[in-house]
Amino acid sequence: GEDVEQSLFLSVREGDSSVINCTYTDSSSTYLYWYKQEPGAGLQLLTYIFSNMDMKQDQRLTVLLNKKDKHLSLRIADTQTGDSAIYFCAESMSGTYKYIFGTGTRLKVLA
Amino acid sequence: DAGVTQSPTHLIKTRGQQVTLRCSPISGHKSVSWYQQVLGQGPQFIFQYYEKEERGRGNFPDRFSARQFPNYSSELNVNALLLGDSALYLCASSPELASSYNEQFFGPGTRLTVL
């Protein structure tokens, strides 16, 4: 089945780390993505991870993938007020551009 | 370089009407996908078009149709609009039909309101 779940809200203080979690059900997923959506805007790709990887780091962003539990997380270090947005995880399979998106997590960064 | 562009940005229609949304992919990209994002939810896949042919379809009724033109731009048509069609419609482009890495580039979307 196709189902990607995320917690709805997360609130952190500026300078702290944020961890956004996602669970997915399709074990045949090849790529997993994190997108950011600011109010009134489209989707901005933050990072992605291939399903045979466990971790990927890109500046302030760290993605962890637990394939056994089908769990994906995005850690944002030194969270800033500009990081306030909705974050979506998404999965896809090799050979298709059909993305399955999660429900989104609204991150609020408190100054 | 211009990214994916969509028009119009906002649109208001009444129930039963028909609407056409437009998308221009990034120059050189041949594949266009359409997504519907209802308020408070993640985007849902509607269609993928490549080389003017439909290559994938999500769980949407036949009221939804699309086409792709020789210049790879695309139109999404929705007939007999319902209140539940109110959403942000996102277009995404990618270089090819599929590759080892499936990055899509999203446009800013068209906000459709059905009254």
Give the one of B104, B107, B109 whose C-beta lies nearest to A97's C-beta. B104
3-state secondary structure of B84: helix
DSSP secondary structure, A50-83, as one string: ETT-SEEEETTEEEEEETTTTEEEEEESS--GGG
B-chain residues near A28 (CB < 8 A): none
Cα A107 to Cα B40: distance, rounded to the nearest angstrom: 14
For B28-65, how does the pLDDT look when each residue is reduced to its tens digit (9 = 90+)? 899 999 999 999 899 999 999 988 899 889 999 999 99
For B66-92, how does the pLDDT look when each residue is reduced to its tens digit (9 = 90+)? 999 999 999 999 999 999 999 999 999
pLDDT tens for each residue of chain A, 111 residues long: 467 899 899 999 999 999 999 998 776 777 889 999 998 788 999 999 988 889 999 999 999 999 888 899 999 999 999 999 999 999 887 666 788 899 999 999 998
Q: Is the dihedral of CA B36, A67, B93, A61 positive or negative?
A: positive
Give the one of B40, B56, B103 whose C-beta lies nearest to A45's C-beta. B103
